[in-house]
Amino acid sequence: MYRLVYADAGGRFYDHPAISAVGRSGDRFVEITPSDMMPLPRGASLVLIPGGSPVGLDRRGKFVLVKEVEGTPVFAVAALLPQGYTRTLLPAYRRPAGEKPLPRFGYTAVAWHKDGLWVAARQTDNPYRWDPGHYNTPELGRLISEHLARHPGNPVLTRLARCAREYSCFTAQNIFYRRWEGGVPVSPHCNAGCLGCISRQPAGCCPSPQDRIPSTPPLEAVVEVMEEHLGSAPGAIISFGQGCEGEPLLAAGTIAAAVSRVRRVVSRGTVNVNTNAGHTAGMVQIIDSGVDSIRVSLISARPAIYRAYHRPRNYDLRDVRRSIVLAREAGVFVSLNLLVLPGLTDREEEIKSLLAFIQETGVQMVQLRNLNIDPDYLFSRLPPARGELAGIGGLISRLEKVPGLLVGNFTREV
């Protein structure tokens, strides 16, 4: 039995002795099965759902809304997963109409089982490099100060120092640790209005976890950061297109010039661009400069769902497809940053469209990304979901059967 986990107003959590936990897939509450669950992984955390009353299953097999326990108001609990794990079910709860959308996190179903906490998730990549234990270490402050002293006045490093300290951004911290994948934000503008954007949202909507860079940094500052990281960091990756910026292809001139300059003196390491791939002319520029890999964000290969979520401006899914094909023809490694949400991504119609898209474009990897969004907010703004549910496990299984396709969570070195 997976027992319901709930919290009191003080944030203390409890397991319910008589009510089973359930999950949610799309607009349905569903019973939890062992194939959905795993023990709470290291680095995961629990959060209380503001205004959310948990839904469980009573001993008669009926779904019940639990607003109180022994006369005390209680709240739904969700887990937030570390990187390397893919959510299989959403938490089951109800919130009153008119509540402000939840903050941008990847809410995951959680339960009490075998004297411990379990979550609705699967491990889908090796989380070693993104283990929280490698970050926010005691020496980080010293490393940031030393780095800034070596490169005084560099606005890219000044920005990354803030992201590393205030937002605990792992790709920003890696620049100062001088290892693995490091982010370099360059673009303040975007050509999409994604419902789940984590750097800019309309006032009164949903709080973003960080702000967006105000301007494109000088070319020399970008080159300075790239040269040092690619030239010396183990497993070096420089990634453009961070959560604190807009669409990097709108700054393709800066990226292309920086890559061309750096590649004259540094041949090692990988240059990656995280993009929506909608600005094809910009894609051509960065391909010609020598970019090694791109990762294309995609919620759906079906145009209606794509438009409703990404809200593209001056491009559509056909442009995304064309950009990917051009990149593959030039030998660039292409991944999809697949935004995964139980009840949407794992529907048969979605899976069939996705597999066709992969085959048509030659995509080499799918990176599964738990979509950080209030599910009620999202589903109210998308066309009605259709088709049978294969489950997230079914989605992963179908992807793993595609010949030559890598399935995981993280950008690889090329």
Note the pLDDT tens digit of each residue in 362-411.
999 999 999 999 999 999 999 987 789 999 999 999 999 999 999 999 99
pLDDT at 61: 94
Mean pLDDT across the stretch 339-349? 97
pLDDT tens digits, residue range 244-293? 899 999 999 999 999 999 999 999 999 999 999 999 999 999 999 999 99
Token pair listed for 283: 């894609």
pLDDT at 202: 59
pLDDT at 209: 63
Residues facing 272 on adjacent strands: 239, 293
Task: Give 16 or 244, the one with higher predicted confidence.
Answer: 16
Residue 313 has pLDDT above 70, yes or no: yes
d(CA 36, CA 32): 7
pLDDT at 200: 64
Q: What percent of the chain has pLDDT over 70?
A: 97
Domains of the chain, CATH where assigned: 3-123 (no CATH), 128-408 (3.20.20.70)
pLDDT tens digits, residue range 74-85? 999 999 999 999
Mean pLDDT across the stretch 89-118? 95
377 contact partners, CB below 8 Å, separation of at least 6: 101, 102, 195, 206
d(CA 329, CA 322): 11
Residue 204 pLDDT level (bands cut at 50, 70, 90): low
